[in-house]
Amino acid sequence: MTMDAPPSKIRKLDCSSVTKLEVHPILDPALTCETIASTSFQALNLVNKQVIGQIIGGLNELPESFQHLKRVGKDGSVLISETEESAKQIIIGLKNDGVRIEDLKTVLVPSKKPLTRRQFEVSKLLWSTAFHPNHDVEKLIDGSFLTDCLREYVIRYTQRVIEMGDGCIAVQSNSVLSSGCPSTHPLGHPVMEMVRNLQKRTGSDYLGTGSDVFLVNEPCAMCSMALVHFRIKRLFYVRNSKNGVLKDDGWQLHLEPSINHHYKVFRVNIHDESGSNLDNVDSNSLCTLAK
């Protein structure tokens, strides 16, 4: 494997000097997006609101892709159909004297279900929308997931992988399950060495099921897939790598729908008393191998 220039070393971490710890979850862009795509829909603006119940009773359910929409808007308008032509046919079929084709209007509705509270706040400005918050996702977005206990945990094991130089540590139940450093083997990346060093397991656990993995450098595709097979729960890494596949502007393998296991990914930024970031240079290495 052709090697680029070796990455700069990260200074050893003194927990007492850490003044700021930033743990950034690398999330699906669909969750971090604060805008909502809209599409047009035909709605019936009823003069007599008392017939709304009768009208809804005579309508088929909304298409599956629009199940997130409430049938009746804040102004009492009723969603009928995606197209004007089909909406007219539906109104004719209702055979209700209180409903006229002339009462049809075009409205904008959210084309997709809101996934976060921020998206819900935007969505409901267009049309009334159902929303069931995912509390774990909301904590990742607003930062409340980083409790004091988790902060100390991340600092402790981030310090250990930095002290290893370019290490990889798997932690299960707050104990080190396995660890590894780069070797001269062509596939001797830190993650692969950690997997190789794992003691033979007994029982029902599959390799490192539910473990957390700490790395200095963002893993490459091979290592990221190895962590899929390892069945980890979370990955914490300190700096981006040239051929890493998890960062925001990359492939983001951990979000790939076709894989059979997914894990959460966090990038750790640590600042010391001087205010400098202990990770101020991204790695140019190819999932850093030992020199």
Residue-wise DSSP of 49-94: GGGHHHHHHTSPPPPGGGTTB-SB-TTS-EEEESSHHHHHHHHHHH
| Distance, CA of 234 to chain centre | 12
Tokens at 211, concatenated? 């473990």
- Let me know: does 181 contact 193? Beta carbons within 8 Å: yes
Q: What is the pLDDT along the chain (291 residues), one digit of tens a residue?
A: 334 434 455 555 555 555 578 999 999 999 999 889 999 999 999 877 788 888 888 899 999 999 999 999 998 899 999 999 999 999 999 888 778 899 999 999 999 999 999 999 999 999 999 999 999 999 999 999 999 999 999 999 999 999 998 899 999 999 999 999 999 999 999 999 999 998 766 555 567 899 999 999 999 999 999 999 999 999 999 999 999 999 988 789 999 999 999 999 999 998 765 555 655 445 555 565 433
**pTM score over 0.85:** no
- Map out the domains of the chain with their CATH numbers: 21-31+146-290 (3.40.140.10), 38-111 (no CATH)
DSSP 283: B
DSSP 3-state of 174: coil
**What letters, b where the CB count within 10 A reaches 16 and e where it falls short, cover 194-230?**
bbeebeeeeeeeebbeebbbbbbbbbbeebbbbbbeb
- Let me know: does 235 contact 215? Beta carbons within 8 Å: yes
Tokens at 191, concatenated? 């993650």
